[in-house]
Amino acid sequence: MQALLQPLLPGFGINIGGATSIDITREGIDKAYGLKRLSEQTGVALDKMIFFGDAIFPGGNDYPAKHLGLDTVQVRDVAETKSVVGAIAAWLV
């Protein structure tokens, strides 16, 4: 799908958004952009963040977080995300 759409939409980024969607955004406006802005606004350094996503693979809409250098956790769904976050939170307390 990406290969078909990319020539039709120059200047846009096209990423797989998990199993059911495709993200089409202006080039450079992706999750890495958002995470950098979040870091700037909150003062939380990128190396102190953990990113959870279901499409952390090249071409996936979560991959920019990994490419940015954040620690990432691949999850399947909301239930698994809650479980992993709960385990991390319990370990921190």
Task: State the binding site for Mg(2+).
Answer: 54
* Binding-site annotation: residue ranges for alpha-D-mannose 1-phosphate: 21, 23
Distance CA 42, CA 37 (A): 9
Please give the sequence-ordered ranges of beta strands (E in DSSP) within the chain, or none if there are none. Answer: 12-16, 22-26, 50-53, 71-74
As a whole number of Å, the CA-based R_g of the chain is 15
* Binding-site annotation: residue ranges: 21, 23, 54
Q: Are 33 and 53 in contact (CB under 8 A)?
A: no
